[in-house]
Structure 1
Amino acid sequence: MTRAIHRAEHATDLRERVCEAAVSAGYETACYLEGGETLTVAGEDGARPPTDAVDAEFTTVDGDSRHWILVPVSYGDTRYGTFALATDHTVEDETRSERLVGVGETIGHGIANTEEMQARQRIAGELHEERRQFEKLHSVAAQMVGCEDEQSIYQLAIDAAENILDFDICGIDVVEGDWLVPKALSTDMESSDSERIPTDEGVAGETFQESKRIIVADVSEYADADPTNPDYRSILSIPIEGVGVFQAASERRDAFSDRDAELAELLMAHVAETLKRLRSEEALRESEEKYRTLVEQSHDAVAIFRDGSYEFVNDRATELFGRDEEALRNAEGWSLIHPEDRAELRAIHEELVVEAGRQRTFEARIRRPSGDVRYCEFSVTSIDYDGDVASLSSIRDITERKEREWELERQNERLEEFASVVSHDLRSPINVAQGSVDLTQQTGEEEHLDRAEDALERMEALVEDILDLARQGRHVDETEPVDLAEVGTEAWESVDAPDATLATDVAATVAADRGRLRELFENLFRNAVEHAGEDVTVTLTDCEDGFAVVDDGPGIPDGAHEAVFERGYTSVDDGTGFGLAIVENIAEAHDWTIEAVPTDGPGARFEITGVNRAD
């Protein structure tokens, strides 16, 4: 009997073996009963004991012309069943009875051991299966990372629910507005098995609204359960955070366990996390694309500056700095700034990059490879960039604006000078004219009117020079090739000095406004006639980087070579003092420089430099 118990692989095998061992030991029949039901019978006739005689204690009964020995099978406090033995004689030996009771306890111990072993094997099997499912779910999660669109993620999740969790009927509904819309269904489902529903209706709506899992053991007993397919008996509903709901259904009642729900929650957690990452990446790509488009289409230069060099520049920045992208990014950043502005910009940059989020707007100059200097307005914000703090700059070229400001300042200066002339220089001839008229009226002597006429002519000359000065202050926007000798000769013809002589020793062609260049020569020639006499010789000649006008008169007094260009300065009685001021304005309007240069001998020399030649 003991050997039969030890050889048994499970409880049923054990019951069969002990019954067969009893028959082999000489009993006519052996049965194993549990709960009044005969589970195992051994013996030729297959007789069974009267079940109403089964008791918790050892007993014997008569029946069917044989005696039955009913042995309780137990271990500890647990009663497993009854071991019934049929014999043709009664059992009256007390020792034998005790031995049979011991057999029942041995069988009970064997059943307990077998059930414990089976339980361990079952738990081990469940753990193995659970581990297998977890491994496969994590493998699915890894595959989800490679998905490039949401639909692929939904379908991969449904495939995993079918093949790993053994959910034959399942689907994913995604929130769109106020609806839960089906996005993926298992292979056994038809499209008619799942329809869109409001986000606040049914088991799916409850799952989504309350963000909790719901297991419906029997849809007929759950008030909110209204499955599209009437054959569905039980439902598992799992929320997908920020996305929607996963549901599985079965035509069996009570088909889903807590373990099923936990595995489904794990799978949906992977879905939610992957979708969150995918949507974040898509949003980031869209944001980057919009920002890049905005930056590339910006009329301003945009650049990211870090550690003394540019990490990023747009096309407008390459135009502004006069370098291609590679050259600009490889350049030492501070070398692009005008030397006089570098110290100030370094200080501003160091202040900005202390932390992200600081802002400054300021003006500075940049220098192109050609030497051209551009005035710029910098709007700078410090940002987090690749684990560091950098400065994001929007740079606008304000050179033209600056030039307009400077022009306005010059105009304002001229207006102030005009006002001064009107209030001062015109007052004297006006007083002379008024006095002469008064004397004529008092004395009747018309010779006083001659003085009045001279005063009025003086006033007319002043007014013409003032207007001319105002006109010549405008900047030259368009130029053309002009032959210096030719325009000089034309200008000389307007000078009323028949005894004076013009010598042209110049063959250059320059880029200039022809009309205003002629006025420059006219004023220089008249100045020579006024100060050197009507028989003066004037020479138009070349000089380094430009041209010069020279006369053979007495020259300019020492210390007056700069003063001669001041408005109102004159050394002759009938001069207005505006001629050379007009010359200077015309030169500056062309971006030229004019100087009264001291000479070794007599005569005055005016050099105009910075001239662009057109020949």
Structure 2
Amino acid sequence: MLAELTVSMVGASSPLRDRVVRTLEDVGATTVAAEDSGTSMSDARSYADCIVYVSTEGGELWQETVDKESSLPIVLCGPRDETHLAAAINAGVDAYVGPEEIESQLVERIGTVVSADSTRLSDERRELEQRDLIIETVADGVYSLDTDGCYTMVNDAVASMTGYSREELLGKHVSAIMTDEDVVQGRTLIKQMLDEGGPSVTTYEIELVTRSDNRVPCEVVMSLLPGEKPFNGTVGSVRDIRDQKQLERELRERKRNVESVHRVATQLENTRAIETIDDIALDAVIDVLDIDVCCLKTTHDGQPRWHVTDPRIDIEAFPICCLDEQIHQRTVRGDRTFVVNDLHERRDETRQTNIRSLLSVPVGENGLFQAGVLDSDGFGYDDAEIAELLFAHVANAIERIEAEAQLVDERDRFAALFENVPDPVASIRYEGDQPIVLDTNPAFERTFGYDVDQLRGESIDRFVVPPEGTDRADELNERGRRGELIETEVERQTSSGRREFLLTVVPVELGEDSPLTYAVYTDITERKRQQQRVEVLNRVLRHDLRNGMNIVKGCAEMLESSTGDEYGYAETIKRRADELISLAEKTRAVEQTLEHDERDLGSVDVVEGVQSMVDRVDNEHEDVEFTVSTPDSAHARSDNMLRTAIYHVLDNAVVHNDTDEPAVDVTVSVNDAQQVTVTVEDDGPGIPREERELLEEDREITQLRHASGLGLWLVNWVVTQSGGTLSFETEGIDGTRVHLTVPKALTEDDLEPK
């Protein structure tokens, strides 16, 4: 191995040196000898593989001749004493060989240090190659400058950025590709880095000047080169930040636009007129977006309102207010934004304008905003997003104004109702368990005799509830406070004494603890008194009339049996007594009908009811011909009094028929309007027109003009109480056709989905 090595010999001529030379030559190594220890080693370093220093026994200071800059391995041959050993360690000697070891150990130790140095050099070479590869492959430019600011190294990225070749840049001053201001800035930063405690790395921005005199914004990361001198130059990287600067500009523009939209949103919140909203929106969108023309459609009270900006271009054709009708329809129907990069690419229709790029944004339910520019690709995602944000605020503002207007209208209508309703009304707030008066209407003041200023802030019960009614009033207050809707009869103290009222308590929020309610007092005193009078008269009429007529009828029968009835007076008395007794029974039926209310209604089998009533009338009268036509089933929403009504219509058709053999047709039908109709047609003289008009409320009831009996009145009340109608038909027929129409009762089949 040593036969391939070249060894540089350093040291004065001596027997020890001769022994070293002979030993090396014996193994075939090439030695290069110097005249003395002071000979420069610069030439030897260029081709030697190892340096051998020979120190004589005279003890000259050999270490002073050691070339510390050399990267070659060093072997020292000399006396083995503490002075030489310490000097060898301090000088960085790789191996030491004593005089007695030259022939036996020198060759081995030279081979060892050369082999180790070869491995080290190989690693360093590999590291250098990797470093160069990294420097050349990174996207950033990498450079180094000497102390004068001239380039000593640049990679291909720097050359690509500047337009110069690497050879052109090497040795040039930085001012060749940097502005004077940036050169001064760099020198200032280097001084700061050289100061004690200064930064080891600094970052700053420059404008790189290219060969074609273009300015490229760049970011420089710079640090100082290491070395023995205080300043040995700089090294750094250069990054092209044009994309970053563009992004920063876009972000600043976006921030400005968003802030502008938020300012507009604040303006819209304080606006009370829709016309002002339209103007604010158009001004804002023109400020935010770079557009040539735009239009805005908003809807108010169901009517569209169009606004078109003064166009800065010559519109070739503008037949409608929107910039593009097809995109208009798609935007409104789909409720989404459309961006069209080039309207001229559409070949299936005639272009409406000479704009090319279109932005179309929905505004609320039926509104629309469209903006256009002359160039293609004029709008991006950010433009659409900003426009959507802006017109979302516009739609909210319009909705708010319309809602506020509706609330004002409702408030005014409620105030008018509150003031003008004929019943006394009090606005109540529950504080604890006390109903405190907030306001009353004029009818309340007239009825109860208290001015609203006397009542406001006080418990209403203290003024209007009688002493014996406080417990029930407390119960009603608790129910009202819980949000219940209350309708009940109460007695209250008024300016004219105690009166009966139907009290309706209406909470502002049903079903929840509601401190706000309205109490409506409907005076039913006269109605209650009238009802009591009618009930007393009705009982007296039924009881006394029926009993008296039974006595009269009995006496007439006794008179007839004892004296005979030659002139028919007794028969007349009995017939009239029967009629009055029947009248009393009808009065009872009428009372039962009037006592029912809608909550008592249910499902009644009309077909079965008609058949049973026909059988009853047929049994009561002779020589009557009935014709009945019914469906398999028909159920009405009524009560059992409907059977009584059907009976009276049938009975009336027979009793008032002057033919020898009355004919009565009965039909039951169900129409598409979910109604059941019972039609009774006879061939008699018919119901007098005056009575029909009375029943149909076309004439006023007077003492001289009233229905001859209660039967048809009972029919009318039963049908109307069921939610139906009673009608008559006489034109084109011999007798009378009576129609009883009542709502159909819903069955399970009706509730099944069709």
Structure 1 or 2, whichever has the larger Rg, is: 2
Please give the range of the TM-score, normalised by the shorter of the 2 chains. Answer: 0.3 to 0.5
TM-score normalised per structure 1: 0.48
TM-score normalised per structure 2: 0.40
